[in-house]
């Protein structure tokens, strides 16, 4: 039996296994992904605080919010209500001053990156205040947001979990629609694999490559501004089913039809 034979027998998000395996340590991938979010969002900062959407936010809306500088207004959605509940619990705890040690490790890295003179706990508290709305929503159906609403759309380890390339392309087009002209999309995805692992089980993924991603971004009308593949060092310390990730960023043209 392969890991994929076990997939979906357990909700690894609701059980907490996903958070434990992928977020207890900052790790190489999370540091790389967080640094990438900052790199792509930071040039937008002269505009002021960003209207930010985390699409397929899972339980990590607050975790990834830590890496986007500024006084932002953050929204997010995910298919799985257990993930929204997890994220909302964490946000409520952070606002009340109770800090998860995994979040603290990520916040320490973000505070260093940003050169902030505040504690990681204070950074987490401020970011928790910036999260305005989380809810359930489906990446493969029209997204629950207005056209041209956001400066920044981020989607981390989510689009590759969709069931088909048609749904992947649909979601990319919805991201393009959600962005305002000049707004940016940042994607983090696992690459060159058909499954990712959690709790000894395999979950199917679309097999992403650099060339495939470039073609699909071109199909949205967005302008590719950065794409790179990063070999994962975390593969040596956990069973994750993939050895690399792709970091992609694209911008909506100022005169856009997307
Ligand atoms: C590997 S997790 C990543 C979650 C989070 N963004 C992170 O960085 O940890 C994949 C996420 O995609 C979500 N997802 C899968 N299919 C979806 C869909 N059709 N619409 C919305 N979310 C979906 C899952 O519920 C899950 O939270």
- Out of 23, 36, 78, give the residue to mutate to test ligand 1, the one with the largest number of ligand atoms within 8 Å of its CB: 78
116 has pLDDT over 80: yes
Confidence at 9, pLDDT banded by 50, 70, 90: low
Q: Are 248 and 187 in contact (CB under 8 A)?
A: yes
Q: Is the pTM of this model over 0.85?
A: yes
Tell the residue nearest (CA) to atom 17 of ligand 1.
79
pLDDT tens digits, one per residue of 148-197: 999 999 999 999 999 999 999 999 999 999 999 999 999 999 999 999 99
**The pLDDT of residue 236:** 82
Confidence at 140, pLDDT banded by 50, 70, 90: very high
136 has pLDDT over 80: yes
Alpha helices (H) along the chain: 3-6, 17-23, 27-41, 61-65, 81-95, 101-114, 120-130, 165-178, 210-218
Which domains does the chain carry? 3-251 (3.40.50.150)
**The pLDDT of residue 90:** 96
Q: Kindly state if the Cβ of 198 falls inside 6 Å of ligand 1.
A: no
Q: Kindly state if the Cβ of 106 falls inside 6 Å of ligand 1.
A: no
Q: What's the gap in Å between 219 CA and the centre of ligand 1?
A: 23
Q: In angstroms, rounded to a whole number, what is the distance separating the alpha carbons of residues 221 and 19?
A: 35
Considering only CA atoms, which of 241, 196, 190, 161 is closest in space to residue 30? Answer: 190
Task: Say which residues have a Cβ less than 8 Å from residue 62's Cβ, sequence separation at least 6.
Answer: 87, 90, 91, 94, 103, 124, 127, 128, 131
Q: In angstroms, rounded to a whole number, what is the distance separating the alpha carbons of residues 7 and 196?
A: 10
Q: What's the gap in Å between 46 CA and the centre of ligand 1?
A: 30
Q: Kindly state if the Cβ of 244 falls inside 6 Å of ligand 1.
A: no
Q: Are 207 and 246 in contact (CB under 8 A)?
A: no
**The pLDDT of residue 8:** 53
Q: Kindly state if the Cβ of 12 falls inside 6 Å of ligand 1.
A: no
Q: Kindly state if the Cβ of 138 falls inside 6 Å of ligand 1.
A: yes
Q: Kindly state if the Cβ of 78 falls inside 6 Å of ligand 1.
A: yes
Percentage of the chain lying above the pLDDT 70 cut: 95
**The pLDDT of residue 46:** 67
Least confident of 1-5, 28-32, 167-171, 248-252: 1-5
- Out of 10, 23, 34, 56, give the residue to mutate to test ligand 1, the one with the largest number of ligand atoms within 8 Å of its CB: 56
Q: Kindly state if the Cβ of 57 falls inside 6 Å of ligand 1.
A: yes
Q: Which atom of ligand 1 is nearest to the CA of 33?
A: 8
14 has pLDDT over 90: yes
C-alpha distance from residue 177 to each of 42, 52, 107, 172, 208 (Å): 21, 14, 31, 9, 22
147 has pLDDT over 80: yes
Q: What's the gap in Å between 160 CA and the centre of ligand 1?
A: 9
**The pLDDT of residue 48:** 74
Confidence at 6, pLDDT banded by 50, 70, 90: very low
pLDDT tens digits, one per residue of 26-72: 999 999 999 999 999 999 976 679 999 999 999 999 999 999 999 99
Please state the φ and ψ torsions of residue 76, each to the nearest 5 degrees.
-160, 160
25 has pLDDT over 60: yes
Tell the residue nearest (CA) to atom 13 of ligand 1.
56
pLDDT tens digits, one per residue of 183-240: 999 999 999 999 999 999 999 999 999 999 999 999 999 999 999 999 998 888 888 9
Which residue has 């792509």 as its token pair? Answer: 40
């Amino acid at each position: 039996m392969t890991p994929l034979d076990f997939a979906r027998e357990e909700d690894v998000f609701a059980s907490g296994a996903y958070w434990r395996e992928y977020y207890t340590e900052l790790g190489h991938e999370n540091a790389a992904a967080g640094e990438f979010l900052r790199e792509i969002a930071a040039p937008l900062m002269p505009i002021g605080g960003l209207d930010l959407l985390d699409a397929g936010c899972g339980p990590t809306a607050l975790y990834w919010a830590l890496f986007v500088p500024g006084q932002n207004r953050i929204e997010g959605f995910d298919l799985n209500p257990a993930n929204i509940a997890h994220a909302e619990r964490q946000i409520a705890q952070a606002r009340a001053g109770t800090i998860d040690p995994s979040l603290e490790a990520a916040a320490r890295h973000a505070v260093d990156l940003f050169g902030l003179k505040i504690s990681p706990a204070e950074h987490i508290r401020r970011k928790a205040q910036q999260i305005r709305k989380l809810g359930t929503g489906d990446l493969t159906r029209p997204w629950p947001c207005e056209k041209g609403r956001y400066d920044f759309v981020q989607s981390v380890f989510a689009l590759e979990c969709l069931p088909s390339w048609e749904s992947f392309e649909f979601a990319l087009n919805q991201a393009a629609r959600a962005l305002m002209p000049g707004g940016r999309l940042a994607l983090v995805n696992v690459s060159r694999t058909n499954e990712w692992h959690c709790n000894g089980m395999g979950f199917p993924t679309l097999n992403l490559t650099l060339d495939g991603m470039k073609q699909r971004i071109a199909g949205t009308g967005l302008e590719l501004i950065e794409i790179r593949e990063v070999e994962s060092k975390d593969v040596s310390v956990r069973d994750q089913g993939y050895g690399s990730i792709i970091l992609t960023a694209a911008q909506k043209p100022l005169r856009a039809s997307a």
